């Protein structure tokens, strides 16, 4: 069994947890020494050295807590002296507000949905609780009731998980259907009454991209379309990576702008799929590279396992999740929906399942002692 080293750092607290596993096959005595930039493991018959990335420096003298966890190895807690700089993400609204032309692609197959479009107005839509807030604050009837928030030509309106654009801007607009009798209003743009024939599908691969919301407005889910400045060549990226990137950006945006950390993820039909609880976005996973050998990777599918690679620092969002398929955990779900002010996020049902799969794969790749927090499962998403 190979020695495996996992180093997790909390940037804001400058603290680290180091887990050394795979020591069982070695001949005792084993001597482990930690220096600022490396870790040495010396056993009776061999010696290994693991190197840290240049920007990460440990403070070995602060090691105060060493524990042996059965089946896993040694856990150590210590402080870090430096960990490199944090990454920032650009909000979709800020990205679209730049004076660039954008192209929307079907994320599944790369087919162009909307070409070389420069939006004149990029505006956030009111939140789902907006109309009830207005009612509470106004001493007269809601002046905005029954007024629709639909995009005109060259407008792009942003909901939490979708964009509304005018059909005139779309490369190959979906045909009108007779079902589009009523025009939805701000409050129910997110509603669950989506009908089969309002679905907008990719002409090439038939992936569901969104739905038509009126005779001239189309809603695209941010998890289904790839939005890129038109001057960039189409960037091929795996579905899993894309979903991870979009979800992390969304959770970071909402937690920063609305101080919301609890989320209920539901399908277009209103069916609840999972609860998400964002714990922090300042966790850093550090890959250690065995000198003259290969590194230890924390992420399934990570590409940095060849001997030429240099150690890497990965900023991650740490979150708890709980799948709620088949009405499981009903009591907790009710509490979350009604008492904690959890924020609802709506995606196509297939994407909700993809998200559960992504989180589950991530969870099972963790050392066993890190997988659970009470009844919640733990996952790390790359920022």
Residues near Zn ion (CB under 5 A): 106, 108-109, 111, 202, 204-205, 207
Assign 327 to helix, strand or coil.
helix
Considering beta carbons, is residue 139 or 236 the nearer one to Zn ion?
236
Q: By C-beta, is 139 or 233 nearer to Zn ion?
A: 233
Q: Tell me whether residue 150 or residue 207 sits nearer to Zn ion (CB atom).
A: 207
Q: How far is the CB of 209 from Zn ion (least distance, A)?
A: 8
Instruction: Write down the least CB distance from residue 200 to Zn ion, Å.
Output: 11
Comparison of 14 and 171: residue with beta carbon closer to Zn ion: 171
Q: Which of 68, 59, 49, 48 is CA-nearest to residue 16?
A: 59
Residue 213 host element (H or E): strand 208-214
CB of 11 to Zn ion, least distance (A): 38
Q: Which is nearer to Zn ion, 30 or 201 (CB)?
A: 201
H or E element, residue 252: helix 239-258
Which token pair is 282?
């300042």
Least distance to Zn ion, CB of residue 224, Å: 9
Residue 230: name the closest of 92, 98, 102, 99 by CA. Answer: 102
Side-chain half-sphere CA neighbours of 256 within 13 A: 12
DSSP per position, 90-140? --HHHHHTSS--EEEEETTT--EEEEEE--SEEEEPPPTTHHHHHHHH-SS
Q: Least Å distance between CB 201 and Zn ion? A: 8
Minimum CB distance to Zn ion, residue 101 (Å)? 21
Q: What are the b/e assignments for 232-242, b being 16+ CB within 10 Å?
A: eeeeeeeebeb
At 356 the three-state DSSP class reads helix
Query: Residue 246 or 324: which CB sits closer to Zn ion?
Result: 246
């Amino acid at each position: 069994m190979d020695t495996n080293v996992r180093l997790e750092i909390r940037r804001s607290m400058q603290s680290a947890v180091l887990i050394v596993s795979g020591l069982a096959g070695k001949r005792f005595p084993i001597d482990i020494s930690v220096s600022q930039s490396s870790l040495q493991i010396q056993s009776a018959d061999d010696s290994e050295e693991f190197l840290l990335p240049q920007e990460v420096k440990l403070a070995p003298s602060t090691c105060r807590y060493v524990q042996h966890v059965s089946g896993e190895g040694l856990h150590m807690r210590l402080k870090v002296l430096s960990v490199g700089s944090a990454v920032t993400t650009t909000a979709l609204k800020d990205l679209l507000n730049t004076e660039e032309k954008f192209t929307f692609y079907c994320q599944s197959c790369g087919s162009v949905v909307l070409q070389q479009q420069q939006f004149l107005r990029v505006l956030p839509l009111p939140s789902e609780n907006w109309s009830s807030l207005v009612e509470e604050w106004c001493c007269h009837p809601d002046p905005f009731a029954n007024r629709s928030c639909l995009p005109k030509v060259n407008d792009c309106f942003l909901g939490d998980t979708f964009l509304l654009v005018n059909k005139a801007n779309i490369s190959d607009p979906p045909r009108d259907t007779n079902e589009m009798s009523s025009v939805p209003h701000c409050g129910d743009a997110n509603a669950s009454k989506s009908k089969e024939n309002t679905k907008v599908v990719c002409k090439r691969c038939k992936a569901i991209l969104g739905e038509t919301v009126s005779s001239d407005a189309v809603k695209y889910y941010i998890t289904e379309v790839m939005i890129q400045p038109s001057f960039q060549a189409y960037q091929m990226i795996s579905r899993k990576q894309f979903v991870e990137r979009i979800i992390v950006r969304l959770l970071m945006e909402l937690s920063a702008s609305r101080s919301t950390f609890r989320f209920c993820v539901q399908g277009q039909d209103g069916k609840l799929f999972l609860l998400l609880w964002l714990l922090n976005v300042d966790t850093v996973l550090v890959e250690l590279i065995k000198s003259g050998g290969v590194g230890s990777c924390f992420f399934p599918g990570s590409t940095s396992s060849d001997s030429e690679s240099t150690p890497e620092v990965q900023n991650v969002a740490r979150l708890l999740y709980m799948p709620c398929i088949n009405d499981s955990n009903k009591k907790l779900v009710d509490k979350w929906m009604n008492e904690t002010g959890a924020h609802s996020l709506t995606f196509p049902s297939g994407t909700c399942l993809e998200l559960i799969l992504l989180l589950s794969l991530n969870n099972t790749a963790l050392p066993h002692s890190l997988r659970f927090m009470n009844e919640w499962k733990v996952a790390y998403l790359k920022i």
